[in-house]
């Protein structure tokens, strides 16, 4: 699927380059490994910090704070918030608040990191603009009532700095540069790919109102978050890999912790839900339809603006007296645009009728098969 965007970004969605300097500096600090050297101990620390902190993001920030897919104690809730904070992706309340908005407005102009605004925007541009620096307490009232979570979100520098200092004591300066900085940058981009790639790369099993997709590759480096279409289809699930062959180590560890009652009431999708809304069985894929319709509308609007601009230019050139010819051109352009819009809308109506008919036939066939 092309990442050509249909949604335009607003002025306050431009990157604030001065405020973004620290993030780019951390990327640059990774080059200090030339000075500090790369040790096996630092590389091992890098791997541990990458996958360990990825788990705190996926199990804590995402599946717990954003979706409440399981329950836990207040003490372990704090551990999840602090552990996720060491990933330098701001506080749990900020993260979860924006993620809930993402699900509420997926792939629309109100989606905080809509892939329809382009790869750069959905990957990290949205973080670097001024529009999303704050967070909405009303969207996360359930966790905003805890003062310790508000404290960690307000002072989100404490967890990563604590881990950075600990990395020095574990493996010296190579531990800081390779162990901490390398893993932090890798973790950033690993997490960001769920926003930027998981809506444009992979396959769709379920018809959803967005463009989410399942990707085994993304699941491999994000601890199971790559089963994104599964997740958007049934958001309350603590398990993103709905089937045994879908790699989901985040859920495996949560399941292990549940044996000791550290976490409890893990939500999973009912069997009947897993067999519904299958795209390959004819369910109308409204999410992809909306995406293509948005792009078509944007293309039509762009064509309209170009035509109007050309008409105005021609009108200015003909101001000496050839007003009749200019009026004829304007009428021809208007008729062309009207015909284009009518043809596009008729194509959409035809496609929707065909899709609905196919869905009905598929459901009827499945019913007959089960009856036999």
Residues 150-166 have pLDDT tens digits of: 999 999 999 999 999 99
Per-residue model confidence as pLDDT tens digits over 110-145: 888 888 788 888 899 899 888 888 888 889 999 999
pLDDT over 90, % of the chain? 56
Instruction: Choose among 8, 62, 3: nearest CA to 201.
Output: 3
Question: 125-136 in b/e burial notation, b at 16+ Cβ within 10 A?
Answer: bbbbbeebeebe
User: pLDDT-based confidence at 91, cuts 50/70/90?
Assistant: very high
Question: 22-43 in b/e burial notation, b at 16+ Cβ within 10 A?
Answer: eeeebeebbeebeebeebeebb
Residue 70 has pLDDT above 70, yes or no: yes
Residue 354 has pLDDT above 70, yes or no: no
Strands 263-264 and 71-72: antiparallel
User: pLDDT-based confidence at 3, cuts 50/70/90?
Assistant: very low
Q: Name the residue with tokens 């519904």.
A: 276
Which run of H or of E encompasses 71? Answer: strand 71-72
pLDDT at 31: 97
C-alpha distances (whole Å) from 213 to each of 109, 136, 306, 312 are 20, 28, 34, 44
pTM score, whole prediction:
0.80
Give residue 296's Cα distance to chain centre. 22
Q: Name the residue with tokens 């289809």.
A: 233
pLDDT at 45: 98
Residue 366 has pLDDT above 90, yes or no: no
pLDDT at 260: 97
Tokens in use for 42? 């630092």
Domain boundaries, the chain: 11-274, 279-371
Q: What angle do CA 184, 189, 193 make, to 5 degrees?
A: 150
Please, what's the largest Cα pairwise distance for the chain? Answer: 88
């Amino acid at each position: 699927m092309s990442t050509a965007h249909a949604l335009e970004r607003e002025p306050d969605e431009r990157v604030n380059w001065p405020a973004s300097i620290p993030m780019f500096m951390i990327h640059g600090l990774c080059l200090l490994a030339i000075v500090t050297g790369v040790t096996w101990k630092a590389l091992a620390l890098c791997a541990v910090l990458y996958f360990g902190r990825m788990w705190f993001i996926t199990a804590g920030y995402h599946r717990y704070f954003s979706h409440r897919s399981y329950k836990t104690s207040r003490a372990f809730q704090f551990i999840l918030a602090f552990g996720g904070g060491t990933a330098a992706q701001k506080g749990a309340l900020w993260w979860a608040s924006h993620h809930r908005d993402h699900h509420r407005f997926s792939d629309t102009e109100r989606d905080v990191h809509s892939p329809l605004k382009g790869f750069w925007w959905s990957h990290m541009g949205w973080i670097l603009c001024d529009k999303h620096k704050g967070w909405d307490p009303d969207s996360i009232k359930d966790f905003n009532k805890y003062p310790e979570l508000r404290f960690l979100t307000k002072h989100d520098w404490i967890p990563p700095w604590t881990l950075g200092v600990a990395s020095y004591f574990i493996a010296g300066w190579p531990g800081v540069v390779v162990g901490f900085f390398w893993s932090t940058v890798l973790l950033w981009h690993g997490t960001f790919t769920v926003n930027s790639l998981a809506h444009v790369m992979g396959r769709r099993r379920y018809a959803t109102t967005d463009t989410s997709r399942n990707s085994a590759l993304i699941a491999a480096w994000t601890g199971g978050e790559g089963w994104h279409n599964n997740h958007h289809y049934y958001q309350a699930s603590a398990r993103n890999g709905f089937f045994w062959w879908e790699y989901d180590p985040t859920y495996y560890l949560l399941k292990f912790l549940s044996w000791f009652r550290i976490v409890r009431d893990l939500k999973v999708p009912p069997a009947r839900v897993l067999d519904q809304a299958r795209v390959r069985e004819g369910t109308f894929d409204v999410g992809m339809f909306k995406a293509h319709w948005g792009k078509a509308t944007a293309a039509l609007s762009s064509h309209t603006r170009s035509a109007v601009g050309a008409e105005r230019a021609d009108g200015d050139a003909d101001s000496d007296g050839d007003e009749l010819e200019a009026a004829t051109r304007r009428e021809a352009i208007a008729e062309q645009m009207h015909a284009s819009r009518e043809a596009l809308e008729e194509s959409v109506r035809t496609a929707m009728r065909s899709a609905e008919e196919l869905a009905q036939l598929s459901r009827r066939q499945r019913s007959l098969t089960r009856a036999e």
